[in-house]
Structure 1
């Protein structure tokens, strides 16, 4: 690229010649912007084969999440435990020598001496076995909803991190695109000041250099922001340990030079009725009650309610049946002795229930109430977050329209007008710099608004995961990140 300062300094003998050469600035600025845009497009096209899109990142995070693997193991363990809980205790078999005389240890000396074989079986209280099995089966039914909630949470977390990384990368690209323009402006100021033609002052040169330094500082901050969020994103995309603990045989591949996709994502709002209609508190409660995290708590409540019935079985006695057979030897004279058979039953008498059974039932009831309270606290928090996110999305959409239709075009016109005035020796250099900085800041703010709006849409979609109860409110809302609870 031709140096502007050399171009403007060569052969400057009059103000008219200076103005002619200053006119070259407009051409060079336009060419610089076009060249930077073309270079960025070519680089994006070259790297398109190794770009990490938002959808890819979410799918990888869900595939490689060890929490989901551990949750599957836990569900299998509870299912196996439910089979054990519904099985009767093992019977007891006893073998003994009863009433053996210690003076001679002769088996046939005493009539009461016998070889005894016994059998006993214990029966738990009431429907304890069936209720324990039912309770564990009910407990296992919450695991699929936990996994569904986890996948939705992963989609939200990865979306936030991916979008933050994307915002930092695009901001860096915007500053890089404009940095060469500021370098050209600094060259122009230096040339104008050196030729003593025009209104350029020494402070304009210092201002131009200062803005370049500030741009470098912003670039450093943005690169730090990008690297921090990229590393946080890598936590969910790492293959480490997956091959050891996952059910699926996952091939470990190096992340290599994978980068964030250059194209902005387009996260669709599941249903515009969510933001366009006025919802009552009851409708919103019904809407969010289908969220898997709420359904998990409902299953937990049902499990705890079975625990109350299980505690009430303590008022019933447990039974134990026993039988034994005693073999006796013939007496010393050879007379036959009859063998002995015994049968019996024993049971508990729950007489002192005040400090035992009553308290156990009371404990079970209080535990159920505590889980119900946890559910309503969770639902109240989700309602508040949903409403705040919905309001945020509405205002961000208004700001997005304002920036695109009014602010950005006017900023561009202001920057062009100030540059034209300066090249005609009718403007101030500081105003040119201020206009360009304002335009750059507006473009970065517009990018931040776009990203924040996408983050808000992703968060609203998170709240709508599994909201099948909406059919009775305003039609069924589908969800981009929703997965079946039958995983």
Structure 2
């Protein structure tokens, strides 16, 4: 998986230098984010730990001296007494086959757990990077509109002064455009601060590249409600319970296998005095699990209880994600309607009102205060339309990156 991510990043990073597109931001996040590096290291650690999982324990070497006399003329003699022997032995412990197979299953399950956690981290990085990029993009679009409004404000100020110079206006009216400019400055300062916050958040996921100027626009994903609902059980946070369950099942099997006897074999070589023959021996030993009621059985029961707890946790998370998905879909639909209403109804009405009040003011039939109010309403409508579109795209990103992309792509075919 790491090689795939690196190759994907290398392809996308071929974008024009000095700019940060949406795809480039995602590629950087997948290529350099420390959370993904940590996930890859955990997978590697689990794979390395699985290599010796089913192997026999290391053999043991024992050195000793047997039958040393402690009194008499041969006291503490190591050579003369025929009973004294120097001993070297090698022992191999052999856990029963079921126990070794269970340990292999536990190790394999932990690899799958690490891979499932890596998928969750990957989607989280993609989702949060997308949300942060869209947030910055939205704020910069609002700042561009504020700059355009400053140009309109300067034209209004010039028109008010010219009207006053021609004796067609009041002196206090010349203050209104400057008041509007001050309010625009306040709005711009607020947007600049929020933009800096968005850059800081984006920097968490892609590093210093977050400060580069943006290029392009975010994608407009198609959110299929039925597809998301059908694949709710395949949410990565839920599928991660499957390998966890397999680990607990294998650990329960290992505890069950402890009821069977393990055994060991030892080969020994014993050296006696030069006048006596050396000796060899073989020894077999077996575990006697005779107290299963207080040793093995409680461990088995503990693993089964953990398995039952895991199943209950999965059901609780399934309900949580079902509620969250329903809420997110409802919010996405609300935002879609709000964007449409803002773009097709409220913003055109605000433009029309501003145009009508401007025409009335120029014809001497309307007041400048009414014009300033109408212009402020239009400013609010324009900025709100951009903000709503940003919120809709952010919600779409959260829904889109809730699942592995191949899963949803396959369903859409």
Q: TM-score, normalised by structure 2?
A: 0.87
Runs of 4+ in 1 over 4 A off after TM superposition: 102-108, 272-275
Partner residue, 1:74: 42
- Identify unmatched segments of 5+ residues in structure 1: 1-47, 240-254, 276-283, 332-336, 479-487
**Using the alignment, how far apart are the partners of 2:299 and 2:251 within structure 1?**
10
User: Superposition pairs for residues 177-326 of structure 1, below 5 Å?
Assistant: 177-193=148-164, 195-198=166-169, 200=170, 202=172, 204-238=173-207, 255=209, 258-261=212-215, 263-269=216-222, 271=224, 273-274=226-227, 284=229, 286-326=230-270
Give unmatched runs, 5+ long, in structure 2: 1-15
Answering whether residue 281 of structure 2 is matched by residue 349 of structure 1, we say no
How far did 1:91 drift?
1.7
Q: Which residue of 2 aligns with 1:117?
A: 88
Post-superposition shift, 1:125? Answer: 4.5
> Is the CA contact 2:89–2:267 (under 8 Å) kept in the aligned structure 1?
yes
1: CA distance between counterparts of 2:136 and 2:290?
68
Larger radius of gyration: 1
1:460 paired with 2:395, answer no
**CA spacing shift, 1:188–1:154, aligned 2, 3 Å:** same
* 1:352-402 Cα deviation digits (max 9, x unpaired): 233322221122112222322332233222212211111112122222222
In the TM superposition, what whole-angstrom CA distance separates every residue of 1:110-139 from its partner, at most 9, and x where no partner exists?
Answer: 231223232322122452222112211121
> What whole-Å deviation, never above 9, does each CA across 1:125-176 have from its counterpart, x for those lacking one?
4522221122111210233332222222112101111111111111111111
In 2 relative to 1, CA 138–178 (structure 1 residues): closer, same or farther, beyond 3 Å?
same
Give the TM-score taking structure 1 as reference length: 0.75
Aligned to 2:330: 391
Q: Structure 1 residues 184-193 or 420-429, which shifts more?
A: 184-193
Q: Deviations over 1:287-316 (max 9, x none)?
A: 122222222221111111111111112222
Change (3 A) 1:256 1:326: closer
Structure 2 match to 1:476:
411
**RMSD of aligned residue pairs (Cα, Å):** 2.6
Give SS of 1:235's match: helix
Q: How many residues align?
A: 395
More deviation in 287-296 or 189-198? 189-198
Residue in structure 2 matched with residue 408 of structure 1 by the alignment = 347
1:360 equivalent to 2:329? Answer: no
Kept after mapping to 2: 8 A contact 1:291/1:467: no
| Secondary structure of 1:238 counterpart | helix
